[in-house]
Structure 1
Amino acid sequence: DIAEKNWEGLAIGSAISGTVLTVGENVCGIDPESEFDSNGKVINSPELKRRVNLYKEWQQDGYGGIVVQSNVEDSRFGVLEYAIRELGVEIVELKWGQGAKDIGGEIKINDLNRAIEIKKRGYIVLPDPLDPDIQKAFKHGDFKEFERHSRIGMASKEDFLKTVEHLKKVGAKHIFLKTGAYRPVDLAKAIRYSSEADIDLLTIDGAGGGTGMSPWRMMNEWGVPTVYLQSLAYKYAKILADKGHYVPDMAIAGGFTLEDQIFKGLSLGAPYFKLVGMARSPLTACMVGKTIAKKISSGNIPRSIEKYGNDLESIFVEVTDLRKEFKEKVDDIPGSAIGLFSYFKRLEQGLKQLMCGARKFALEYIDRGDITALTQEAASISGIPYVMDIDKQEADKILNSD
């Protein structure tokens, strides 16, 4: 429920910042107010409608975009078709597996009736809430929570191409694919199939990512770390590009938090990687903004924050610019959104400074020559020159000239 509880901040903060925001998987399936037809297809989901419309309400001048994501369960429910036809969503994302992790998504359920409802919708729920003995044990207090698991995907080229073509016919204007830290052959399939399907964006999520919906050891230790994964993706994309094949724009995710990491991610994957995906850090920014707003409202501001002021405008300097832009409507922007907007502004300013230092005055000019490998191992993995070798020929030429 992390995204649901913080959606107001994520949606408004992303919209006023002009960034793309993705509505994750399983929203309709978990929404207790969702309605389904006789074929099991969703015909109404107040929660998905809330998430999409909140972003659209605050979107500025067409910048950014709201994306609806679909996993195996969502495909059963016809979520993307519903989002396109009923909610006017133009960007959809197919998801192989769980992004940073290689199995299904998990949530915990502490209500028996809720667990039964989700089980009846076709999800895997452990232990089985329909078992009378399990119900008795739960009511007795023998255990406190059920687990909901999502089914894994088994992607094939034919099914993927058919799905993309179907979504285009339904009305999707832009189609994305998200995959993760799996075997290299699966990464090769994702890039090649995306090329053949002519999709708009391929997001690759390295191990180290995840928003807390999976076991901790899985996020930290399973799969391929982000730098390794992106290095493989660069090599595979270059092979296709050198053969004249279309290579979709690519995004890298997996543990990014600050502007120097963003710069390195864009540089390492240039010219194929155009974006960096983030989840945990924006969520953290929303939570911080929400917490500070609550402390201000209750008059219980921590000393470490009170030194900056006792209202949002004093503590978050960006509020002044937001007030110029939104006038009296700025009072409708929650503290969580202000926290996210402020975080994005910090990333923007920091990235501009790094780009200035590299004499790269637009993102399109960032390339692999802007970074160097500090170890031989990093050079071997990434193909980026070792620091003792970079610029060697140019330096020798200067030093040895008459």
Structure 2
Amino acid sequence: MPRVREDSSYLNSMSTTDSRTRVQDVSPTSGMCPICIEECPVLCEISLSAFRGRETLYPVPEEFGTSTAASLKNYGLDWSDLNILSRLRGAKGIEEDPDKALFHRVNVESECGGIPLEIPIASGAYGSTDVAKNNWDALSIGTALSGAILVIGENVCRMDPGAKFSDDKIKHSDDMANRVKTYRKFWDGEHGDVAVQTNVEDERTGVEDYVISKLDVSIIERKWGQGAKAIGGEVRIPSLERAQTLKDRGYLVLPDPDDPSVKEAYRDGSIKSFERHSRVGMPKRKNFLEDVDQLREKGAEKVTLKTGAYRPTDVAWTMKMASEAEVDYITFDGAGGGTGMSPVPMMNEMSTPTVYLESQVLKSAKILEEEGKYVPDISIAGGFIQESQILKAIAMSNFGDSPFIKSVTMARSPITAAFKGSYFARLAKEDKLPSQFEEKYGSKVEDFFVTTSRLKENYGNDYKEISPGAIAVYTYLSDRIGVGLQQLLAGTRKWDLNLAGRDDLAALTERASRVTGIPLIDNVESDAYERILRD
């Protein structure tokens, strides 16, 4: 199957909505079966929509809280369109000595917004969606062990059933307090930290005041959007009573849980769940600048900004605002995947994909730098799962001095690691491990993970409090991605992540070269033959 999809056949058959077509050779324009018949038992996107309407806009409702979702669309440009160039001679960042220039000595530490990182990763943002709450122990401890930033996402306090309010302001949240406490139990106090993200709903309930004053949170992240959707945060609520409570707390809940006809439809089973929506922000220059100043006055040591994959004018304006406010770092999130509940058509068809978005962000950063203006550190998000993608993103942002991009923000892949570690530990306990896995890696949880002995040595008796899911997240982030970065950087003969630059990359396609400004691989050092061989 060709890598670039040239048609829209996925529109009427998507695993994200669990829709199928009767035949495989569908119309490339509509995705419909060439002959659509009346007596068809298969539910395509059209027929599923005829029964379930707005539900079909979202990933399979039954999997909410136990899944994440992403776009199915090929955007014509991704990180595989760039290759990392290896070197034969020399070494930078270490002595040019074969006995000293060993790959495990490569320094992959970074610093984003003045926050030291053992690996150039921020994990999150994990907000009020069930998939975050259900896997919090794994995500928070695994991230802390890795020395990375953990971002607690939006709506956590207001969604907490045990939250206490006074005059519509949050006074206590068991969920938020537990999230911060869990991360910090295994935090070394130096690398990474926990950040709390706040949207319009959180600002109205004073979440930043609560977490700064009561939980000693030092990083507040204002949220302007995400790459998976542009209409605010959404979660699915299976309970009528819970939906009514959230409506009473000021959320938009659809369909209206207080409507008598909706109540009746819920009781008879035709309505199975409700949608909770967050309001979108409408940022204004003066308000934002004042807001950042006020956050610092309240005690926030670091103020950051998270934004989505908006059009180029919004990218430039956002960079300008971040510069004027001197935020510590800014996260740009490319299309199109989410940790919770994002409309499938929006994930597929809206917003700017990551490589395109980074190119726009870097153009803005260069202009600000040329104008002598403050340039905040940048974290880029949007579909990252491997060290090769991370290195390319960081290297592409270094025009000679140091990278503009200091970290990559990841969400879906750490959740996958958490899923797998927890699930296989449960299978082991039930003596239901796949035979092939058991034969290869053992039947005990301690045998599964290559990092078990290291964690036991480092944490002693506290090791018992590190869940299998947390070990899985740590092993994925630190042992796989961290070591993978060391190997790739050593291949470029650079022993420090900050030395990675655009000269370490080559474009494989005309589009990749045009968008990123990275030369085509057949044009890289094209003068070398004459210059070297005729000298």
Q: CA separation in 2, counterparts of 1:351 and 1:288?
A: 23
Partners of 1:13 and 1:340 within 8 A in 2? yes
1:314 partnered with 2:447: yes
1:177 partnered with 2:305: yes
Q: CA separation in 1, counterparts of 2:144 and 2:374?
A: 30
Partners of 1:312 and 1:319 within 8 A in 2? no
Cα distance, 1:61 vs structure 2: 4.0
Question: What residue in structure 1 maps to residue 527 of structure 2?
Answer: 393
Question: What residue in structure 2 maps to residue 275 of structure 1?
Answer: 407
Flag the 1:395–1:252 CA change in 2: closer, same or farther, 3 A.
Answer: farther
Cα distance, 1:392 vs structure 2: 1.6
Question: What residue in structure 2 maps to residue 27 of structure 1?
Answer: 156
Flag the 1:219–1:304 CA change in 2: closer, same or farther, 3 A.
Answer: farther
Cα distance, 1:377 vs structure 2: 1.1
Partners of 2:235 and 2:340 within 8 A in 1? no
1:209 partnered with 2:341: no
Q: CA separation in 2, counterparts of 1:186 and 1:378?
A: 22
Question: What residue in structure 2 maps to residue 303 of structure 1?
Answer: 435
Say which of 253, 259, 270 aligns to 1:142: 270
Q: CA separation in 2, counterparts of 1:107 and 1:61?
A: 33
Question: What residue in structure 1 maps to residue 131 of structure 2?
Answer: 2
1:343 partnered with 2:476: yes
Deviations 1:56-107 (CA, angstroms, capped at 9, x unpaired): 1111242210000001111111111111011100011000023442111111
Cα distance, 1:328 vs structure 2: 2.1
Flag the 1:191–1:395 CA change in 2: closer, same or farther, 3 A.
Answer: farther
TM-score by length of 1: 0.97
Cα distance, 1:313 vs structure 2: 2.0
After superposition, the CA RMSD in angstroms is 1.1
1:94 partnered with 2:218: no
Equivalences, count: 400
Aligned runs of 1:195-206 on 2, under 5 Å? 195-206=323-334
Q: CA separation in 1, counterparts of 2:531 and 2:451?
A: 49
Deviations 1:315-349 (CA, angstroms, capped at 9, x unpaired): 11100100100112212110100110110110011
Deviations 1:118-172 (CA, angstroms, capped at 9, x unpaired): 0011111001111122112211222101111111111111111011001000000
Specify the code of the residue in structure 2 equivalent to 1:378.
A
- Structure 1 residue ranges (4+ consecutive) displaced by more than 4 angstroms after TM superposition: none
1:292 partnered with 2:420: no
Q: CA separation in 2, counterparts of 1:261 and 1:136?
A: 50
Q: CA separation in 2, counterparts of 1:31 and 1:106?
A: 15
Cα distance, 1:305 vs structure 2: 1.7
Deviations 1:284-304 (CA, angstroms, capped at 9, x unpaired): 000100011111211221113
Cα distance, 1:18 vs structure 2: 0.8
Cα distance, 1:350 vs structure 2: 0.7
Unaligned runs of 5+ in 1: none
1:332 partnered with 2:465: yes
1:16 partnered with 2:145: yes
Say which of 225, 239, 248 aligns to 2:353: 225
Question: What residue in structure 1 maps to residue 320 of structure 2?
Answer: 192
Specify the code of the residue in structure 1 equivalent to 2:417.
A
Specify the code of the residue in structure 2 equivalent to 1:34.
A
Partners of 1:209 and 1:253 within 8 A in 2? no
Partners of 2:143 and 2:149 within 8 A in 1? yes
Specify the code of the residue in structure 2 equivalent to 1:197.
A
Partners of 1:15 and 1:64 within 8 A in 2? yes
Q: CA separation in 2, counterparts of 1:392 and 1:21?
A: 44
Question: Which protein, 1 or 2, shows the higher relative CO under an 8 Å CA cutoff with sep ≥ 6?
Answer: 2
Which secondary structure does the structure 2 equivalent of 1:372 belong to?
A: strand
State percent identity of aligned pairs.
Answer: 46
Which secondary structure does the structure 1 equivalent of 2:145 belong to?
A: helix
Specify the code of the residue in structure 1 equivalent to 2:431.
G
Q: CA separation in 1, counterparts of 2:331 and 2:468?
A: 30
